[in-house]
Amino acid sequence: MDIVCALRTFLRVAETGSFSAAAIDLKLTQPAVSRQVSALEAQLDTRLLHRSTTALALTAEGERMIPMALRVIEAVEALGDSAGPVGTASGKVRLSLPTPLGLYMSDRLAALLDRHPELSVELLFREEPSDLIGEGIDLEVRLGPVSDSSLICRRIGWTTAFLVASSAYLEKRGPPQTIEDLSHHDCICYRRGGDGRSWLFSNGSDQVAVRVAPRFVVNNAVAVHRAALAGAGIAILSHILAAPDICAGRLINLVPDFPPARLPINLVHSSRRNMPLRVRTIIEYLVAAMREDPFMASSSASGPNERCLAGKA
């Protein structure tokens, strides 16, 4: 039995919660997946999964096996990287990140994949922190402070966001003259790791938190963007989504002298040694991608097209 292959199969079954789903991901038959897991259990003399006709669940031993399996696979991959062609990454990297940054990276990954034909990337759009080890996620981008001291954390950039609304909404309700005026407006809240009803603004010297009473709350930034374009209310949007619409006049940048506060963009991963080349390659590419965008490059950066982004309110 190929123990590494069996461990990979077990991890995929644990992640998907299904033999059939794991078989599809691994391009195997369902019986083949079941045989590999059974062989692994026989080799270890330990039951890793509870099976029934309707459900599949990890045993306590299976839960403990996940971090150990990840360490074994990473060690093998690191050994393969050191023996393989210099500078060529191979294997799959699972990268979790917020929706706007996921869209930003989707536009830029083709060049990296061209340079590394054996590398593949699975993007997971997440609005809240993931269980990296339990879900087999290699890297995650998180916005704001990272409180989990067990994770390796690296700041790779800063967010830039705009307070925006469509002309249609502003014609009905008028623009807010100050951020305090938001309490009298329809707001579209992006709930990410909280209730989304407290908006933080900064003019460079002062920070002010404004409590809003939204009529529409959603946990996906693209849905917030579409609702704002449709005239549903005022929203805070990442520059990745908002800047093209502001420059085209589809959205208006509001109260530009007191914009939404900027947050650090952090890249986190588990505290593991022997990081595979495939993961190091993605980290380097992410860092370079942040530096290419002046809106994210530094804590004080101002982006291009400042005139069109200056706002009319």
According to the 3-state scheme, what is the secondary structure of 96-138?
Answer: EECHHHHHHHHCCHHHHHHHCCCEEEEEEECCCCCCHHHHCCC
- Token look-up 């209310």 returns 233
* pLDDT over threshold 60, residue 146: yes
Stretch 155-164: mean pLDDT: 94
pTM of the model: 0.69
Question: 15, exposed or middle or buried, with CB in 10 Å at 0-12, 13-18, 19+?
Answer: middle
Q: Answer whether 234's CB lies under 8 Å from 185's CB.
A: yes
CA atoms of 35 and 20, how far apart (whole Å):
13
Residue 149: helix, strand or coil by DSSP? coil
pLDDT score for 304: 43
- In the chain, DSSP assigns E strands to 49-51, 56-58, 91-97, 119-125, 139-143, 151-158, 161-165, 187-190, 198-202, 207-211, 216-218, 234-238, 252-253, 264-270
Could you report the per-residue pLDDT of 271-293, keeping only the tens digit for each? 655 678 888 899 999 999 988 89
* pLDDT over threshold 60, residue 71: yes
Angle at 95 between CA 86 and CA 160, to 5 degrees: 110
CA atoms of 36 and 298, how far apart (whole Å):
48
* pLDDT over threshold 50, residue 171: yes
In this structure, what token pair is assigned to residue 72?
């074994």
Average pLDDT value for the chain: 85
Residue 93: helix, strand or coil by DSSP? strand
